[in-house]
Structure 1
């Protein structure tokens, strides 16, 4: 509300000698000037206050502060809204897209799945700014650790950054367990470490329809943990590989199995193996004496097979997001999610005691539950390949997976703000 000056005579009568009868025009001019000055002063201070400066980054959890609403905004609570402008890049952009997620290359007929944006409930998620990301990463390093969905996010980031500057791939073996890219202009290193289960694992049997694997739940995968000690940021994730037949080992001995269908072996559920793998991985980071980086857990994303499991005729043919009010994360996927989050929270508490190590949650489970339209389905390979099983677990590139990196950028800005509050 605009301030209104008092109109009583007390404003103009303290100095009667200056207010003769014939000076009314002068008095009116003075009052008008006073009113104008007050209005300008009030408007300037209001418009330049934090209330009118839109969204700023605030270092509280996964939230940014929408100061125009004076509320904390959770980046990961929201809905998908139409965005007709489409993606930042295409499959023709000079970057790295795995053919199995290159949906447009292999003839996906619809493009509406590209025209949605994630909208948090109480603010807007800013568009990805490649230059801003690289400026934040100047002189730093970031590594993705995990399975093919981790690679999915990595390749999204490579393509988003390709709209700004070229990278130089340091390691060239496409199926190597370790790959690395370098952005010379920003002295920024980006890496990917392939690890199915994060802990040590190996094939238990070969030449079977679905390979049974040995998983050593108390032994971290040395192929990544020995390489990340000097990284500034880690993005860790794993999920789908825990859903197949597994033989669980601890202290070198078989303690049970999941879906192994073998007599005289204790049945252990998938949640036990999932819990122990993350516990072992986070403890390994806590025990790295020189590690000072920030670890992000990118949460589990569900597959969207309908009308049957992946090997029983299941499909994912939808072309639009699921309305928020219809979202239902199954109890199975919900427990997988809560299992890994509980281990992250335990590591977060322990990290505060050990060199102040930080563990953060890149919470994408609920937003991706709403996107059954974002999978490659049958468009991750040429039609001539005659592959009958659709891919309803990975994500098309470009596609909704790009939102993970938009959120990651905002979280990195929060961390930078917490180090330098100016």
Structure 2
């Protein structure tokens, strides 16, 4: 009797085990069918929590800013403006390179080499609100630029940016595998031989042509003709333009005597009107001469200047916004208004506000070597340009972020 009961229990246990196996197999079959149905039905989406949404960059007409907009997940849209944030002291992450690594840097920006002893200005990082800005990666940037050509066109502040970008990239390659040409103040170039890429600077503070008459030395600013160097700009994959400061110069600092427009010489014209015509000339060239499928165009906003009193002996960023530098708003509005209505897409690198707080980052008296300072009885602090390493590295970091956040993720080869 006991033996019979034991045998029955064994049989029940075995049947239960087999039933569990069958149940598991059925559940797996049901799950596979559901997955297959989801893949075949476009109305059903499968989201992997191990993947980040693909981000995109766009120009916001309302804010005139580049906006980082991750693609919606679960119908949520999160906006992030990489130019809206705060400065954070970060001695571990900054600087991205050491000045001696780039022997080609000009005296004007080599503040530590010229005797500046405080170096805290090198250690501030820009942190955006609501999103992470990728740390500048020179090797990754070089890969993105492989086989490409970058041109930076404008005044000495864009030359400042060129020196920064050239140094950032130069510090990531063996010196023997780089070519640097810096003898001319109007044209400079960095080439990374192993990546077959170049970064070039072209001096053109007005973007339009400035002619000097041989017979009498009269300087004529031709508002409806782009700079004669423009023929050398074509074919670039990335273009970074700027203008502004030279339009605001007055008196002895003014670089022109007459304007020329539609074949007529004009002695007096409102600066706002002249800049508006010049910007339209530039925009027309962008529309007619560039392949929008190949070339990405950036326009860097005004780099703010501070007075000598505002930057001399300063070692900390400005905390009070009322002390920040300013630039004629009317000129800024003309530049931004032109970009906003352009049919060809132009990315606006709005570095003005974040740069206004960095009065500590100017060369001040350290734009020249100590012996030169001692020889000159009068010397005005340079509160327009920026020390390197320093603030322009952040400008290039935001340019890099714009490329990283692009929907394509890389520079088009088309």
- 2:403 is the alignment partner of 1:412: yes
Structure 1 residue runs of 5 or longer lacking an equivalent are 1-18, 24-44, 206-210, 257-265, 308-313, 352-357
1:81 to 79, 84, 88: 88
Q: 1:334 to 1:320 in 2, by over 3 A?
A: farther
**Equivalence for 2:337:** 342
| C-alpha displacement of 1:161 | 1.0
**Equivalence for 1:115:** 123
Q: 1:204 to 1:149 in 2, by over 3 A?
A: farther
**Equivalence for 1:317:** 313
The count of residues paired between Structure 1 and Structure 2 equals: 353
**Secondary structure class of the residue paired with 1:117:** strand
CA deviation string 1:75-109 (max 9, x = no partner): 00111111122301121113531111111011112
**Equivalence for 2:277:** 276
**Secondary structure class of the residue paired with 2:299:** strand
State the Cα RMSD in Å. Answer: 3.6
**Secondary structure class of the residue paired with 2:88:** strand
1:180 to 189, 208, 214: 189
- 2:138 is the alignment partner of 1:130: yes
**Secondary structure class of the residue paired with 2:118:** coil
| C-alpha displacement of 1:306 | 5.2
Calculate the TM-score normalised by the size of structure 2: 0.75
Moved more, 381-390 or 66-75: 66-75
CA deviation string 1:298-339 (max 9, x = no partner): 1111101155xxxxxx75432211126546564x43332222
**Secondary structure class of the residue paired with 1:110:** coil
| C-alpha displacement of 1:66 | 6.6
In structure 1, C-alpha distance between the alignment counterparts of 2:384 and 2:124, rounded to whole Å? 19
Is the contact between residue 107 and residue 369 of structure 2 (CA under 8 Å) also seen in structure 1?
no
- 2:102 is the alignment partner of 1:100: no
In structure 1, C-alpha distance between the alignment counterparts of 2:290 and 2:237, rounded to whole Å? 14
Structure 2 residue runs of 5 or longer lacking an equivalent are 1-11, 17-45, 60-65
- 2:149 is the alignment partner of 1:141: yes
In structure 2, C-alpha distance between the alignment counterparts of 1:286 and 1:118, rounded to whole Å? 33
In structure 2, C-alpha distance between the alignment counterparts of 1:95 and 1:73, rounded to whole Å? 37
Q: 1:280 to 1:157 in 2, by over 3 A?
A: same
**Secondary structure class of the residue paired with 2:260:** strand
2:202 to 168, 193, 213: 193
Is the contact between residue 180 and residue 191 of structure 2 (CA under 8 Å) also seen in structure 1?
no
**Secondary structure class of the residue paired with 2:340:** helix
Q: 1:100 to 1:412 in 2, by over 3 A?
A: same
1:230 to 231, 235, 238: 235
Is the contact between residue 182 and residue 189 of structure 2 (CA under 8 Å) also seen in structure 1?
no
Calculate the TM-score normalised by the size of structure 1: 0.73
How does 1:287-298 map onto structure 2 within 5 Å?
287-288=288-289, 292-298=294-300
Q: 1:212 to 1:339 in 2, by over 3 A?
A: farther
CA deviation string 1:263-294 (max 9, x = no partner): xxx3x333233322222122122221667411
| C-alpha displacement of 1:179 | 3.0
Is the contact between residue 222 and residue 261 of structure 2 (CA under 8 Å) also seen in structure 1?
yes
- 2:349 is the alignment partner of 1:362: yes
**Equivalence for 1:41:** none
Q: 1:105 to 1:213 in 2, by over 3 A?
A: farther
**Equivalence for 1:393:** 384
Is the contact between residue 99 and residue 380 of structure 1 (CA under 8 Å) also seen in structure 2?
yes
- 2:164 is the alignment partner of 1:156: yes
In structure 2, C-alpha distance between the alignment counterparts of 1:186 and 1:393, rounded to whole Å? 33
Is the contact between residue 144 and residue 410 of structure 2 (CA under 8 Å) also seen in structure 1?
no
Is the contact between residue 82 and residue 398 of structure 2 (CA under 8 Å) also seen in structure 1?
yes
